[in-house]
Amino acid sequence: MKHLFSIVWMLCVPLMLWSQSDTIRIVHRAQEPSSSDVITEEIPVETPAEEQTIDSVVRVINREIRYYTDTVSLVTFSEDSVQKQRVDTIRPDSADRRGHYIEAHVGLGYGSLGYGFSDPANFGNPNSVNGSFSALLQIQYAYFFHQNWGVGAGLWFTNYTSHAHLGGYYGWDHTMTGWDGLTDTDTEQPYNHRVDVNRWNERQTIHNIGIPISIQFREQKEHWKAGIFASLGIAPSFSVSKKYKVTAGELAHSAYYPQWNLTLDNMHEFGNKDFTQEAAAKGTMSVRPQVAIFADLGALIPLTKQIDLLVGGYFNCALNDANSSTKQEVGWKDNVFTFMNDYRGAYAIREAGSSHPWQVGVKIGVHWHYIKPDKHETVDYFEHFMRPDTTVQLVSRQDTVVDEYMETLVRTSVQRAAEKVEKLNKIYFALDSYKLTHKAKYYLSSIVKVLNDAPEAKIAIDGHASVEGDSIHNEELSYNRAQAVYKYLVSQGLSSERVVVLGHGSRIPNEELEGEALKRDRRVEVKVIRKQSDIE
């Protein structure tokens, strides 16, 4: 029976030693050995230069001499994992400037109805038009489909004000066709009527509601103290108020008798008249809808994660003629000694030119960026651990000297890290994108844990692209994908000195899953550097 046990034992021990996994702990307990000695020699392995690795590889020869071995305990460990669930909080990327914006602006500047007067020969003084204070209130919605480019539409309310100055004289000759002549009521003598316009000032104001439609540009970086904002667009608009009012104006009536070469001023039917007291001194102008072109340029100053302050300038100008008045002659109309008894403002006289209302000024505003709230997602993950599988108790007694020689190729932590990383090393992307998915970030977090256990290991991040599109663009896209993985690994605590980033464009197709070749070509591969050719 004793011999049978010895035979079974000799057959089982090699099998159990062969089945051991990564870690084997051998404990020797000797009972009063008469002598004991342990000799260890380390001999470097010589390999060709092209096959040399960054890992340290040595051949170890142990020679152990013992006389009494009573007990040998072998404990076999294996790596295992268990699937668990956790709730992750996914926060939106604050550097992503795409999405929805609400923009509110207030502007202050100089504006005008944008017209002038011709100077007829009978004017004693030239007429003129000056602009005045103007204001702008604007609110709009914008959607940025790109980090820098977006489109906007909204509503604005603005005013355009001009001051018209008239001068000169206007008369009517009694000899002109169509009149029986103007006659004095006392002498019944014909005469010419003359009206002198003095110190005439007329304020003209229109208030417009417009619908601005624009293309917008913004450039902002997280480390910038201020960004750049610009917009260009058109704004259909119409007038909700269009008033004129004569604020100063005096008419001097006189009569000239050519037969006597005599001018009469201070008669009861002549003399000076304050036109501001007349009903026609104020009224409504005739203005048609306009289509304006506008532009904005300014600086964006971040106030919070979602709110930017805009400080800049603006300009707008109507492309079409806003004046739809029926033009009329300046002067008195009939023989009742009135000055244009159907006067509708200087905007409506024949000498008034085409009108293109415009504004220029400074504006201040706020831009509010809608950022999605944090998202909570339940994800599956594997927790890895080591466990002892088998404990074998061996009892033997040896009465003779035993010499043992063991040759071992030491597997370094770099090799173990490489084997684990290879299971997680491929990160896939959407078409023409280098944005990391949540699944990809989970894989990268697992890679960081593996690399933290092997501080001497270095990695290469290889970016790839599918063959669609331009090759130059694919070179840049593959490098951007590798950079995205690099930035995330560094943000998780991995030293940047342990990383090499490469972009290969579409030159190296994925050899796996041929049925999804193009989809699987849009990838990044993370590899532990074990020899120089891994990064070439």
DSSP output for 336-389: T--S-TT---GGGBTTB-----EEEEEEEEEEEE--PPPEEEEEEEEEEEEEEE
User: Which SS3 state, helix, strand or coil, does residue 488 take?
Assistant: helix
| Cα 400 versus chain centre, distance | 82
DSSP state of 436: P
pLDDT, mean over the chain:
77
pLDDT of residue 280: 83
Sequence ranges of the domains in the chain: 2-77+386-410, 99-369, 414-535
pLDDT tens across 303-357, in order? 988 899 999 999 999 999 999 998 877 655 555 545 555 778 889 888 888 999 9
* Regions of the chain where pLDDT drops below 50: 1-2, 5, 8-9, 13-58, 60, 67-69, 121-123, 177-180, 337, 397-410
CA-CA distances (angstroms) from residue 204 to 246, 356, 473? 9, 14, 57
pLDDT for position 522: 87
CATH homologous superfamily, domain 414-535? OmpA-like domain (3.30.1330.60)
Cα–Cα distance for residue pair 212/241, rounded to 1 Å? 19
* Cβ atoms 503, 482 nearer than 8 A: yes
**What 3-state class would DSSP assign to 13?**
helix
Which two three-digit tokens encode residue 395?
Answer: 């009892």
Residue 223: count of CB within 10 angstroms of its CB? 4
Residue positions counted in the chain: 536
Q: pLDDT tens across 188-247, in order? A: 667 677 777 778 899 999 999 999 999 999 998 877 888 999 999 999 999 999 999 999
Per-residue pLDDT at 269: 60
Contacts of 121 (CB under 8 A, 6+ apart): none
Tell me which residue of 405, 411, 412 sits closest to 40, measured CA to CA: 405
* The CATH fold of domain 99-369: Porin (2.40.160)
Helix (H, G, I), strand (E, B) or coil at 303: coil
- What is the rounded distance in angstroms from the CA atom of residue 461 to the CA atom of residue 465? 14
Q: What is the DSSP letter of 438?
A: H
The pLDDT value recorded for residue 32 is 45
Q: One fold for both 99-369 and 414-535?
A: no
CA-to-CA distance for 139 and 367, rounded, in angstroms? 10
Which among 362, 346, 302, 374 is positioned nearest to 93, based on CA atoms?
Answer: 374
Q: How far apart are CA 182 and CA 179, in angstroms?
A: 8
Q: What is the pLDDT of residue 394?
A: 52
What does the block give as tokens for 440? 């990809």
Taking a C-beta distance cutoff of 8 angstroms, is the pair 398, 404 a contact? Answer: no
**What is the C-alpha separation between 160 and 107, in angstroms, rounded?**
13
How confident is the model at residue 349, as a pLDDT? 84
Q: Are 74 and 16 in contact (CB under 8 A)?
A: yes
Distance CA 496, CA 500 (A): 8
Query: Within 10 A of 339 (CB to CB), how many other CB atoms are there?
Result: 19
Both structure tokens of 16 = 């159990």
> Do residues 494 and 453 touch, judged by C-beta distance below 8 A?
no
